[in-house]
Amino acid sequence: MSKLPANSKTRRGGLRGAVTYLALSIWAVVVLFPFYWMVLTSLKSYAAYNSEHIPAFFTLSPTLENYVQAFTAVPLGGYLLNTLIFAVITTAVMVVVSTLAAYAFARLRFPGRDLVFGFFLSMMMIPSELVVITNFVTITNLDLRNSFPGLILPSITSVFYIYLLKENFEQVPDELYRAAKVDGTSDLKYLWKVMVPICRPTIVTITILKLIECWNSYVWPRLITDDRAYYLVSNGIQQIREEGFGRENIPAMMAAVVVISVPLVLLFLAFRNKIMEGASRGGLKG
């Protein structure tokens, strides 16, 4: 919209613009400040931090000793590796399982399909808090506590992603399928060679969203692991805070927090548009 040339109007518009930018910048500071403080604190030495009765907004002698401490005092590297393994396997299996199911719903004909899909959809309403109890018992009874299968199995399925993929698959024109059938293409090959490439944007989106979800998951890993060898980062950082060095060495704890946060921030900056678009279609938090 263009500004009106009348003088009083533009002046008022200019003032409104300034106030708008000021307000937006304030919220930007509120959002960014914790990140700044986290990095800043992680660079302050233990001694320097504890001698600051009044917190300093910058440091002139940054040090990496906290990062060394974070990786040596607790197996932070191990936590990161565990989380990576957990996130990658869970996401990979989720994508495969969801793709197959979405394909069945979108393309294959079988009696009762809509009924089954409706049943699937209704499962979206089941809150995870409700099922966690029995899952905990199930995994315990299967003797899968403190193991990757125990962590991964209940985390795989997401009805929502099946739904998202199915919607996307249905947009691929029927003619392609019929043409492929005429050429004698098998369903699996058609799925792999035609559907998946066409719907790649959606698949990438759900992959990234699931990775974020896995990286941040806390409740289930906490229930199912008490052996530090299987801790994920969320549990690791909580353990550091309550039993580890976090109780007194704040800078080292902040170093750990930075290490945990950085991979996701990088992932976000790399796939900014994909993540934001995907998140607006179905949020995880909120």
Return the residues of window 56-115 that contact other proteins according to CB under 8 A: 96-98, 100-101, 103-105, 108-111, 113
Does the footprint of other proteins cover residue 20 (CB under 8 A)? Answer: yes
What distance in Å separates the CA atoms of residue 237 and residue 217, rounded to the nearest whole number? 12
Judged by CB under 8 A, the residue of 114, 184, 197, 280 near other proteins is 280
In a 10 Å sphere around its CB, with 0-12 CB exposed, 13-18 middle and 19+ buried, how is residue 137 labelled? exposed
What distance in Å separates the CA atoms of residue 137 and residue 183, rounded to the nearest whole number? 50
Does the footprint of other proteins cover residue 147 (CB under 8 A)? Answer: no
Q: Which positions from 188 to 207 touch other proteins by CB under 8 A, shown as an x/- string?
A: --------------------
Does the footprint of other proteins cover residue 184 (CB under 8 A)? Answer: no
Piece in contact with other proteins (CB under 8 A), picked from 63-71, 177-185, 193-201, 217-225: 217-225
Does the footprint of other proteins cover residue 171 (CB under 8 A)? Answer: no
What distance in Å separates the CA atoms of residue 237 and residue 247, rounded to the nearest whole number? 11
Does the footprint of other proteins cover residue 15 (CB under 8 A)? Answer: no
Footprint of other proteins on 239-268 (CB under 8 A): 241-242, 246, 250, 253-254, 256-257, 260-261, 264-265, 267-268
In a 10 Å sphere around its CB, with 0-12 CB exposed, 13-18 middle and 19+ buried, how is residue 238 labelled? middle
Residue 178 near residue 115, CB atoms below 8 Å: no
CB atoms under 10 Å from CB of 214, counted, come to 22
Judged by CB under 8 A, the residue of 85, 121, 132, 176 near other proteins is 132
